[in-house]
Amino acid sequence: MRDCYIVNGQVYIDRTFVNKTVAIHEGKIEILDAATKVPEGACAFDAAGKKVVPGFIDVHTHGSVGVDVNAATAEDLEKICKFVATKGTTSWFCSVLTDTKEQTKWCIDEFKKHKAMESEGANLLGIHLEGPFLSTEYKGAMPEHLLMKPNMALLEEYQKLAEGNIKYITISPEVEGIADDIPAMNALGITVAIGHSGADYDTSWKAINNGAECCTHTFNAMKLLHQHFPAIMGAALESDIYCEAICDGRHLHPGTVRLLIKTKGIEKVVAITDSIMAAGLPDGNYKLGVNDVVVEDGDAKLADTGVRAGSTLTQDVALKNLLAFTGRPLEEILLMLTENPAKLLKVFDKKGSIADGKDADLVILDENCDISEVFVGGKRIIG
């Protein structure tokens, strides 16, 4: 791969913007002094008046541009990779909604086929299983007849088939016996999140103390805080676990977003899309796993119940929403799309910040925080 240089930009390093040159060599980052001369004939991108930031990481998405993860072939997954990269997302985890054993295994096989391909878009880093060990009370878009009690043998079978690429799972703490299985899930290399849940406070804390590290789409599809019964919501807010947040202005009121950040701290909130196949497309009829979904005015809801079912959000829009909702500086907001998800899913050694030797997953933002250029592993995607 040809060396490239990004010059004259303000580069986001150690949570602040500094005037540096970023060299890209064999897909990796090297930070150079701003006065460094670019070798004659070398590839150079002038980022004057712009900001160079780490690529965004989406740990929870079910699809986009007409592709539903539960029905996605390897080629379909590549369509998502190409689309989300144009929105600043340089890495993502495909979220498999609760489905039959056969279909879940098929999804895993297609993931592996994609992994063997050379992608022209964002990195597909792993699989997120949203279920099947979830509560029926707060199932949201989950097909109730496919929800089940803990089954470590099944999860081990999935992980063996996935060759260790199941990196993330959402479970409901109140499902009998599930909290006791969290250490075994962690031993399989899976980060555990709690959600889709009406769990009480003590049960939720048991899951957290046993190794759960995140709360799935916080405030949504869960029992909310009551002064006498804090429930899962209270445990999520009080503890040090990460909290996912869908910042589309529909799932969470801007005031709720501000409250979440103030309560948890900016370092513990992860901005996700929870997007479905309708992201990037007009209103209409779509699918989310086995569910029929209707999108009106960009709002996705189950056709039969009207329950909200994922979003049509992209991370470039999430960034601008968060800036508008909170009034906080870009330096802080970026953590929720870069460093925090990288730490949650254990990829911060390679991604989530701009530092020597890390993967050259970079986004260049203009003065309005719109996407100007995107690089994935040093390859220029747009610009």
The closest alpha carbon to 173, from 146, 203, 211, belongs to: 203
Q: List, by residue number, the catalytic residues.
A: 274
Whole-angstrom distance, CA of residue 47 vs CA of residue 299: 35
Q: Backbone dihedral region of 346: left (phi > 0), alpha (psi from -120 to 50 degrees) or beta?
A: left
Q: Which residues contact 71 (CB under 8 A, 6 or more apart)?
A: 287
Ramachandran angles phi, psi of 318, nearest 5°: -60, -40
Can you spell out the DSSP letters for 120-159?
Answer: SSSEEEEEEEE-SS--STT-TTS-GGG--S--HHHHHHHH
Can you spell out the DSSP letters for 61-77?
Answer: E-EETTEEGGG--HHHH
Secondary structure class of 211 (helix, strand, coil): coil
Local structure of residue 37 (DSSP, 8 states):
P
Local structure of residue 241 (DSSP, 8 states):
-
Amino acid at 340: N
User: What tokens does 318 get?
Assistant: 């999430």
Whole-angstrom distance, CA of residue 105 vs CA of residue 316: 32
